[in-house]
Amino acid sequence: MAGVGDFVTRMLVVAAVCLLPAVPASQGPAFAAAPADDGTEKLFTFRDQRITESSGLAVSPTHDGLYYTHNDSAAAPTFYAVDGEGRTLATFQVRGAQARDWEAMAATKDPRTGRGVLWFADIGDNLDGAWPNVSVYKVLEPRTIADATLPATRYRFRYADGARNAEGLMVHPRTGRLYVVSKEFSGSVYAAPQKLRTDRVNVLRKVASAPLMATDAAYAPDGSSYVVRTYFSATLYRSSGETIGRVTMPELEQAESIAYTADGRSLLVGSEGPRSPVYRVPLPAGSTPTPSPVRAEQDKEPAPVARAGESDGAGLTLRDVLIWLAAAVAAIGVITFLARRTR
């Protein structure tokens, strides 16, 4: 949601990006950052002038070559179906939903019916407690791609350890369990109950650590791994929550969204802003765990953390602390300068 919180965050991000080359690279887990010529390519650019703050991104589970996105905040709950050229094929309104601060979406396929399911996360909370609860809306994927109004099922949530700002949503493709990833200096992965209730608020409980200032997350199509992205990079995890490694992201105006391609071999990443691009980033060799032939192994999910606040090393690192402390100082300087200029 736009406001002072977003302005300060953007100042921090700009300052941090400027400082990145001066910070020695830390020893990364599993594999080195991918080089610029690793096969990353621009897939398309959103052409629709209404798509100005693309914050969620998902690949259709039932329509080949179709992608979904939605804006960060809007007057009405709306999402768009876009083809591989960035052209909007259909605009959908979601009945029974609010668009308070939509930050992420996910797409899955119901294993029983084969029907696509879309999930929209109204989980942004820049004041970390402005809302008594947050919501996720479940919408059946339309069989026909044409403008329509679709009904939604609303699930309300609260965090067991207090309100959080969050921008990441992922749904395990086999078990159907929903996860929210908080956007904090020491982020966390929160699991929803296996069975969601519409008649009461569902409780989200911390089950794993997440990288600093996560802006989105997604499960691989086979459930064997998941990814959490930040403004600067993406971290890959095994389904159990064990860190695999990091992937360098292309430079974007405000990196907000991430999704796996349908074959699970690449990541799709997007940004806010008018006519924003979507890039395809191939996963480095050895970055994806070999799926086990035993389905139960693929159905593993992030294990509960041993102690609240404990990090597995993929969250707040010393390098992160130094970057963000320096960025904070720089941002404060910029804000002070602007304040003096506008007196």
Band (pLDDT 50/70/90 cuts) for residue 317 is very low
- Cα–Cα–Cα angle for 48, 6, 321, rounded to 5 degrees: 125
Q: What is the pLDDT of residues 205-253, one digit of tens each?
A: 999 999 999 999 999 999 999 999 998 899 999 988 899 999 989 988 8
- 57 phi and psi, to 5 degrees? -145, 135
| pTM confidence score | 0.80
The neighbouring-strand residues paired with 281 are 267
Band (pLDDT 50/70/90 cuts) for residue 329 is low
Selected residue with higher pLDDT from 257 and 11:
257
| Averaged pLDDT of the chain | 81
Secondary element (H or E) of residue 159: strand 153-159
154-180 per-residue burial string, b: 16 or more CB within 10 A, e: under 16? ebbbbbeeebbbbbbbbbbbbbebbbb
pLDDT at 297 over 70: no
Q: What is the pLDDT of residue 23?
A: 30
Cα–Cα distance between 149 and 139 in angstroms, integer?
Answer: 11
Burial category of 317 from C-beta neighbours within 10 Å (exposed 0-12, middle 13-18, buried 19 and up):
middle
Band (pLDDT 50/70/90 cuts) for residue 6 is low
Residues of the chain with CATH 2.120.10.30: 38-316
Note whether 98 and 88 are within 8 A (CB): no
* CATH entry, 38-316, from 2.30.33.40, 3.40.190.10, 2.120.10.30, 1.20.1560.10: 2.120.10.30
